[in-house]
Chains A and B, each alone.
Chain A
Amino acid sequence: MTTPTPAPTTVFLVDDHALFRSGVRAELDRSVPDVRVVGEAGSVAEAVAGIAHLRPDVVLLDVHMPDGGGAEVLRRVRPAQPDVVFLALSVSDAAEDVIAVIRAGARGYVTKTISGRELAAAVRRVRAGDAVFSPRLAGFVLDAFSDRPGAAPPGDPELDRLTRRERDVLRLLARGYAYKEIAGELFISVKTVETHVSSVLRKTQLSNRYELSRWASDRRLV
């Protein structure tokens, strides 16, 4: 894993609400010295150009925007710049929105009500290569991977099933536990918790389970 770098984490903001962008920028600049907002964009096209030009470490991405939203930015940027990390930031609580950006390649999903301090922590975590699961996202993923009676058998057991431990970790995330608390609860290291969460993220992105693919395709714009 990466060693802590002295250089601040550079962040690019994508949101079609200028007011919200300036709010996040002010909060991050004021309260967190090691996270620096280097640019912002209000549309998909601006975002694609800005990210290509500024090469930020982390992109904070709004889900709902005109011209396809966050998923469209992900689709257009990721092939060219696979090293840029995306963290979705949205007011939406709908499974369709959350799962759609995760499957498009975002490494985490937090809601806009998150505090500046927590947001900075989430930014650092995705930068370090980890995933960020809000309790609600954890709930969605648990639901999607649950074996309901009558559900189709998983096609690829490696991808379509969560291990017992991954399920335990997700459950604790949904209960509002922090990584450190999860580690203490399950008698494992924080590092192992991170590994489990990253593995769950990978499965969420790649699995063909019915709910996941349906949620991802069912996305509607409000």
Chain B
Amino acid sequence: MLAGVAGGVADHLGADVLWVRAAFVALTAVTGAGVVAYGLLWIFMPQEDASVVRDVPRRERQQALGLVVLGLGVGLAASALGNSALGWIVGPLGVAVAGAAVVWREADEAQRRRWTAGARPSGGWRAALVRVVAGALFVASGIAVFLLGNLDLGQVQFGLLAVLATLVGVVVLTVPWWVRLVRDLGEERRQRIREAERAEIAAHLHDSVLQTLALIQRQSASPREVARLARGQERELRNWLYGPGGYRRAGDTDDPARQEGLADALAVAAGEVEDTYALTVRPVVVGGDRSLDDALRALVLAAREAMVNAAKHAGVDEVSVYAEVEPDEINVFVRDRGAGFDPDSVPDDRHGLADSVRGRMTRHGGTVELRTAAGQGTEVHLHMPTPTGGVPVGVLDPPPREQEPA
């Protein structure tokens, strides 16, 4: 008629619509409960897909019938007991139990399992029993008082109390359900976060790795270019996966000091040399990171120049860079296993080592030590004292992150 509730109920019960409507009308005529029931059903009943075909098994029909009979019996018993005190307890309790039974019966298998599972962890069976009994008592007393108030006294206060007691009872009875609901919400939130992370990773891989792979396919005729692309991409991905400010520590990137640490600066310098001279430079940094000041910037530039020298003159495809940060000094070693050279025989017009490395270091109070011989490789040792101790960039290892669910 109005919202199709009667039709839905009729469908659900497998009865004719007419009967259901008649029941509603009868209920409305007697107590006005019909209107309330209609409204509640309208609000709370899920709408069913029109295409669903229902067939109600015989057993279920019998059970339903049994329940109706039980409810009627309890109601009759209650009224037969009349105004004796026992009647006021047994009657509503019976109604409540019958109601709970109906709810239980109407739930599908999965829901039932969930309810039992939800009831279990919150304090074991004893607690569950206490809760159910207390809830049932509340509901029963609520109904009892309500009836009492309506019939005899008609006091509004009384009625309110009764409603309140009933509500408390209902809440206590449905605790497991609420717990479950909260848990479901949490689970859904986690799912969403996971989804967002997956999207972020996919987006990143698309922007970087897939693009590079496409470029590599186009450049496949030039091995040098392919190696350069692959190396650059590898470095970028590595940094994103494991480096500071990358994917793992994305939450910390707001920290401005983190952007410009010695380790990052060295990694950037190494990356530039890798790209320009097509060889591998992978720095290892030990000790807490430091934020860059003028002296450290000079140190990084000197180290970069040393890498460039190794790349240009040593004839190797790998250069080792090792930086050790100590409280009062920083040491950087740039080493190759290449040709080596005799420092005395370097022509005067070559300024790389003299100016770019030694000059930079000495201007900021640092020293350079060179160890090389023809055929022995070269190691440039850059030493920079930091008497003030420098400013640590956070801590190299952030506090352990919350363990994510596997």
Residues on A facing B (Cβ under 8 Å): 92-94, 113, 135-136, 138-139, 142-143, 146, 148-149, 171, 174-177, 211, 214, 218, 220, 222
Contacts and interface: CB of A to CB of B under 8 A. Distances in A.
Contact of B242 (A94, A146, A177): A94
Contact of B404 (A93, A148, A177, A220): A220
Nearest to B379: A175
Q: Which 8 A-B pairs have the closest CB atoms?
A: A176-B320, A139-B284, A175-B322, A94-B242, A175-B333, A142-B286, A174-B322, A139-B286
A19 to B, nearest CB: 14
Contacts of B327: 149
B320 A135 contact: yes
A138 B333 CA distance: 15
B193 to A, nearest CB: 15
Contact of A211 (B238, B241, B397): B397
A146 B335 CA distance: 23
B251 interface: no
Contact of A175 (B241, B242, B320, B401): B320
B400 A218 contact: yes
Contact of A94 (B241, B284, B337, B404): B241
A107 to B, nearest CB: 20
Contacts, number: 47
Contacts of A177: 335
A87 B401 CA distance: 29
Contact of B286 (A94, A113, A174, A218): A174
B322 A139 contact: yes
A143 B396 contact: yes
Contacts of B131: none
20 contacts: A92-B242, A93-B238, A93-B242, A135-B282, A135-B284, A135-B320, A135-B322, A139-B286, A142-B286, A142-B324, A148-B288, A149-B327, A171-B322, A174-B284, A174-B286, A175-B322, A175-B335, A175-B379, A176-B335, A177-B335
Nearest to B397: A211
Given A142-B286, A171-B324, 12 more contacts: A136-B284, A139-B286, A142-B324, A146-B287, A148-B288, A149-B327, A175-B322, A175-B333, A175-B379, A176-B335, A211-B397, A218-B400
Most buried by A among B284, B335, B404: B284
Contacts of B320: 135, 175-176
A142 B327 CA distance: 15
B381 to A, nearest CB: 9
B209 interface: no
B280 interface: yes
Contacts of B10: none
A118 B282 CA distance: 17
B285 interface: yes
A117 B363 CA distance: 43
A104 to B, nearest CB: 18
Interface residues of B, number: 23
A49 B230 CA distance: 36
B378 to A, nearest CB: 12
Interface string B248-292: 000000000000000000000000000000001010111110000
Interface in B5-27: none
A178 to B, nearest CB: 8
Contacts of B337: 176
Contacts of B333: 175
Contacts of B242: 92-94
A149 B287 CA distance: 11
B334 to A, nearest CB: 9
Interface in B293-349: 320, 322, 324, 327, 333, 335, 337
A211 B327 CA distance: 19
B404 to A, nearest CB: 7
Given A139-B285, A143-B287, A146-B287, A222 B241 contact: yes
B21 to A, nearest CB: 60
A87 B280 CA distance: 23
Interface in B224-260: 238, 241-242
A214 B400 CA distance: 8
A131 to B, nearest CB: 17
A136 B321 CA distance: 10
A148 B241 CA distance: 26
A146 B280 contact: no
A174 B320 CA distance: 8
Contacts of A138: 284
Nearest to B396: A143
Contacts of B285: 139
Nearest to A96: B242
A146 B322 contact: no
B286 A146 contact: yes
Interface in B392-406: 396-397, 400-401, 404
Contacts of B238: 93
Contacts of B397: 211
